[in-house]
Amino acid sequence: MSTSHTTAQSSNTFSESMLNRKSDIVLRVGKICLASGTGSYRVKQSMAKVAHMLGVVNQAHVTLTEIDSTCRQGNQFKTEVCTLYSVGVNNHRIQQIETLIIDLEANPTQWFKPNFLDELDHQLSRIEQQPGLYRPLMSGLFSAIACSSFTFLVGGGFMEMLGVFFAAGLGHLVRRLLMDKHLNHFFATMVAAAVAAALYFLIFSVIKHVYGINSQHEAGYIASMLFLIPGFPLITGVLDLAKLDFSSGIQRIGYAVAIIFCATFSAWLVAVCVNMEPQPLLTPHLNDGLLFVFRLLASFFGVLGFSLMFNSPMRTATTAAAIGMIANTLRLSSIDWWHVPPQAASLLAACLVGLLACVFSQIRHCPRIALSVPAVCIMVPGVYMFRAVYYLEQNNILNAINWSIQALLIVVALPMGLALARMFTDKEWAYTSGPSKNS
C-alpha cells in the first residue's frame, strides 16, 4: 500500500513538473510574438499551435503588454501571467517564430522525441537572443529614405524631400538611441519629434537666407516626423477589433493615439517658436506619365524604408515594397484620375495588399503581416493626423474636427481592407466559430 501510494505521488509530481515546463514554453512563445508587435489574434494562434504540439490545451487573454495564459492537461492546469514593459516591432522575429512553428507542424514526429522540449527551448532562446539586423545609423538611413519618399507622395517637391531626408534620418536615429537606453516611449517620441522639426527649420532657414527660396517650403516640416506614426499598432489594433478582441484592439489604438499626440505636441512647440503653421505644400507640376513613374518609385522606397525600420530582412522588405508600390500608386491614381473618394480608394488598395500578401507569403515563406502592414503603413494619413492635433492644440476646433474625421475614415478603411482580404482567403476570419483544434 505504501509503495503504491509513493509511486502514484511521484507520477503526479512528474506530471505536474512537465505541465509547468510546457506552460512556460507556451507562454514564452506568446511573449516573443507580443514583444515583436504582432496582433493579439496571431499571438493566441501561435500559443495554441505550440500547446497542441506539446499535448496541452491553451487559453490566453492578450492585451498590448500582458498575457494571461492557462494550459490544461487532463485534470491539471497552470495559469501564468507575464507583462512587457516596452512596445516595439520586429518583423524578423515574427518571421522566425512563425517559420519555426510551420517547420514543427510539417514534422509531427518531432513532437514525441524525448528531448523535444529541450530542442524547442533552445530554438526559442536563439530567437530571443538574436540582435537586430540593422544598427541605429542604418535605421536612421531607412527612416530618411521612407520619409523623404513619403514627402513626395503627400505633395512635396525636391526641396522638401531634401530637408526631410536629413531631419527624419537624425530624428529617428535619436529615437532609436533613446529607445535602446530603455527610456520612456513618450519621452523618446517627443525628443525625436523636436529634433526632426528643429533640424528641418534650421536647414530651410539657412537655404532661405543664402538662396532666397520661397518660405512655403518650410511647410514640409510635418513630413519630417512621419517616421513617428505608429502604423503597426494602428493597423493591428483595428484588426484585433475585427476579431472582436476589444481589450487588445482598444489598447493598441490608444497607444497609437498617445504617440501621435506626443509627437505633434512637441512639433507644435517647435513650430510656435518659429511662428510656423501647417500650410499646403508647393506641389511640383508634372505630367501624368512622370507623376505615375515617380509615384511608383516613391511608393517602393517608402515601403522599403518603413519595412527595414521594422527590422525586416531585405528579401521580405523588397517583397513588401513591391506590393506597396502597386497598391499605393493605384490608390493615388484612382483618387486623381477617376475621383474615387480617398476612403474607398484606401479600402480597395488595402484589400489588394492583403490579397497580394497572401500570394507572396507562400512564395517567400514569410508571415503575411510582415508583408501587408508595412505596405499599408505608407497609406496611413500621417499629415492629416498631425494637422488635426496641431489645430486642436491651437484651439482651432473646426479645422481639428475636419482633419480628424478625414484621418479617422482612412485609418479605419485600411485595416478593413486587410480584414476583407483575410476573409476571402482564410476561413478562420470568414467564420465566427473560432480557431480549429489544431490552430
Under the banding of pLDDT at 50, 70 and 90, the label for residue 395 is confident
Q: Which residues are CB-contacts of 58 (< 8 A; sequence separation ≥ 6)?
A: 26, 47, 48, 50, 51, 69, 70, 71, 72
- What pLDDT is recorded for position 218? 66
Please state, in angstroms and rounded to a whole number, the distance separating the CA atoms of residues 135 and 132: 7
Q: Could you read off the pLDDT of 99-157 as tens digits, one per residue?
A: 999 899 888 888 888 888 999 999 999 999 999 899 999 999 999 999 999 999 988 88
Under the banding of pLDDT at 50, 70 and 90, the label for residue 276 is confident
> How many percent of the chain have pLDDT more than 90?
58
Mean pLDDT of 263-279: 83
pLDDT at residue 4 greater than cutoff 70: no
pLDDT at residue 2 greater than cutoff 50: no
- What pLDDT is recorded for position 58? 94
Residue 354: helix, strand or coil by DSSP? helix
Q: Which of 393, 373, 384 minimizes the C-alpha distance to 94?
A: 373
Q: Which residues are CB-contacts of 278 (< 8 A; sequence separation ≥ 6)?
A: 219, 222, 386, 387, 390, 391
Q: Which residues are CB-contacts of 439 (< 8 A; sequence separation ≥ 6)?
A: 45, 48, 49, 428
CB crowding 114-146: b at 16 or more within 10 Å, else e: eeeeeebeeebeebeeeeebbebeebbbbbbbb
Reading the block at residue 164, the C-alpha cell is: 526631410
Q: Which of 295, 298, 297 minimizes the C-alpha distance to 333?
A: 295
Under the banding of pLDDT at 50, 70 and 90, the label for residue 244 is confident
Amino acid occupying residue 413: A
Residue 74: helix, strand or coil by DSSP? coil
Average pLDDT of every residue of the chain? 88
Under the banding of pLDDT at 50, 70 and 90, the label for residue 217 is low
Q: At what angle do helices 368-377 and 288-309 cross, to 10 degrees?
A: 130
**CA count, 13 A, side-chain hemisphere, 342:** 13
pTM of the model: 0.89
Q: At what angle do helices 397-425 and 382-393 cross, to 10 degrees?
A: 150
Under the banding of pLDDT at 50, 70 and 90, the label for residue 437 is very low
Question: Is-contact 147 165, C-beta < 8 A?
Answer: yes
Under the banding of pLDDT at 50, 70 and 90, the label for residue 165 is very high
Q: Alpha carbon of 353 to those of 51, 319, 417: distances in Å?
A: 31, 11, 8
